[in-house]
Structure 1
Amino acid sequence: MGAITDDARRAARFEEHRGRLRAIAYRILGSPDDADDAVQEAWIRYDRTDTDDVANLGSWLTTVVSRVCLNLLEARRSRPQPSLRADPPETIARTPESDPEHEALLADSIGHALQVVLDTLTPAERVAFVLHDIFTVPFDDVAPIVDRNAATTRKLASRARVRVSERGAALQVDRVRQAMVVDAFLTAARNADFEALLAVLDPDAELHADDRVITLGAKSFTRGAAKVAEFGRYAKGATPVLIDDVPAMAWYVGGRARVVYTFTVVADRITAIELIGDPDRIAKLDPVAIGH
């Protein structure tokens, strides 16, 4: 019984990180099937390794799955594969328990442009860029994955960044990261996870509400992560939306958006949330509900 309990505990620890691991693998590899294979290989290596003394399991697993992905990319170069560019958008963090609305928000925010550019990078450039610029992994942690020192790894990511910008996909990177931040906020709100809300908010985060939303009980202005996080309990019923392809949220009543939540994201933290209830403004924003 004890062994079964221990196996279940180890499996549960891995499942806590599966969504992020698949997101990383999918963005590096560009193929949902290859991403699933990479995560499965990461699970096998995890299952065969004693990780009880690993201080940061998330970082350890990120290293493992990224190395698996790097090996797969290098194998592709030696055995050319059919282009993946025609693949339809796929969700990047699918788990059995994940919310289809969240998955669709992330997928639709990525688009094809970024994937096309990533296909032109060398394996090391691609891994360095994806891990640092999209998933904010420090260069010191990326360096051993690509078998370079931190300075060289920084140059790899820089070259990749220039190519991404030249090919017009830089905006897609920003949208991917904003989608992840908004998704994290909504997930924390739905789970009533106050600490997770604080983690995604800038310490000086602000919340602004228009006159229509004030009539619903909101304050016109709130400042500070703790106070804004308290608002999270009211956001748990919101739905992910896109406004001009930018991730946002909306509260629907009777099939119509009654309150729209727009976000200002800087360095992977929410610095401001605006609550818009004015029907004319909402009509002009024309939010597109994802999976609603």
Structure 2
Amino acid sequence: MLTIGCHLSSSKGFEAMGKTALEIGANTFQFFTRNPRGSKAKDIDPADAEALNRLMAEQGFGKILAHAPYTLNACSKDEKTREFAWMTIADDLARMEYTPGNLYNFHPGSHVGQGPERGIELISAMLNDVLAPEQTTTVLLETMAGKGSEVGSRFEELRAIIDRVELSDRLGVCLDTCHVYDAGYDIVEDLDGVLERFDKIVGIGRLKAVHINDSKNPFASHKDRHEKIGDGSLGFDAFQRIINHPQLRELPFYLETPNELDGYAREIKMLREAYGE
């Protein structure tokens, strides 16, 4: 069965997200741990978290994916900005244990002129500081589009971060289809070749999730503007190949397209119909 969901608001709590996912035909979902443009995190109600855990077990959900705020930059030039990112991610990982065994995704960050190597060094140092042997959450580095000084648009950069992290068994990768296409990996015409390259550099076993998004911009544009499935430069046929690819089809897919719930429901239905059982 295709494991697919979308980004849901966490404002009404954990169980409400699970019920909303079911209403739109999803069997997983993504959510922000806190305000995506800020720092405030809503207090967790343990009973609400446990209600979601029960619902997911009863309904056969795939792993849910928590997303760190966009504002975090673990490789900033500014020490206070780095410290804020470290403290926020550490707090998020502690909160994730209310829904154990799931996924936490973050944008590696921007080196802002320090150079990719320095960025990689700072990101890996942060991960060495916050990862713990007892945690049940797998932390995912997201593939990026390569805007400005972003770290993580090349598979080699992701590998370099992983190699510097002591608890690397707690790390994985979330492949974003818009981002990798905008970064110059041609998943439309050469999906097999891109995955072969990922496997050679990072290891296909590190791939734990897929952000499934079309792109408003052309190949290798380094822009990062998501589009609805089939309405962008990747096109629907590419997504049919992606969700059915032997190395991807068992992974959870998370829509981040510019939609409201009814639009997500249409995309989920469309992709389920294209998925070969």
Q: TM-score range by the shorter chain?
A: under 0.3
TM-score (norm 2): 0.27
Q: Which has the higher helix share?
A: 1
Structure showing greater Rg:
1
Higher relative contact order structure (alpha carbons within 8 Å, sequence separation ≥ 6) = 2
